[in-house]
Amino acid sequence: MTAPAPLVIIGVGNAMRRDDGVGPAAIAELEQAGVGRDREAVELVQLDGEPTRLIEAWRGRHRAIVIDATRAGAEVGRIHRVAASVDPLPDWTTTGSSHSGGIAEAVALARALDSMPDELVVFGIEPADLSFGEGLSPAVEASLAMLVDQVIEEART
């Protein structure tokens, strides 16, 4: 069995809940940009945000980047970044996720199980619309390219 790629980029969300699909949309954009072609270096993953699945995706990795729609109370389309392996987790990682459970729960459980990656960075983007339906809102769609650029830059460091 081969070792997992040292970097995993995880897009969290549900494409059938409008802006909640920003994580999967970012993963699709990263694939189109060629990120993840070298699966020995970077793996791209789409998940629903359930904490144990997040932990399994980053277990054994040197680095993990998570992308999710999150409510931090800022303007729609704003991108937030937290180095979750070193910085205190902001409130939006606890209560702002558009899913049950969430990033803070996954981090707390991973710490208790000694299953954290060496580096974990979380990108959250403010949603406008989490109703049922396909397609991102115009504001989130407009921020998607900048989000992808920031993730690519993070992956290079």
What is the CATH number for 89?
A: 3.40.50.1450
Q: Phi, psi at residue 78, to the nearest 5°?
A: -65, 140
CA–chain centroid gap for 150, Å, is 12
Is 34 a member of any domain? yes
Is 23 a member of any domain? yes
Residue 117, pLDDT > 70, answer yes
Residue ranges making up the domain that contains 103:
7-156
The structure's pTM equals 0.90
Is 69 a member of any domain? yes
Task: Please state the rounded mean pLDDT for residues 101-128.
Answer: 89
Is 73 a member of any domain? yes
Give the burial class of 113: count Cβ atoms within 10 A of its Cβ; 0-12 exposed, 13-18 middle, 19 or more buried: exposed
Residue 94, pLDDT > 90, answer no
Is 2 a member of any domain? no
* Mean pLDDT of the residues in the chain: 88
Tens-place pLDDT, residues 27-43: 999 999 999 888 788 99
Task: Please state the rounded mean pLDDT for residues 48-66.
Answer: 93
Question: Into how many domains does the chain fold?
Answer: 1
- Give the pLDDT of residue 102: 76
Residue 96, pLDDT > 50, answer no
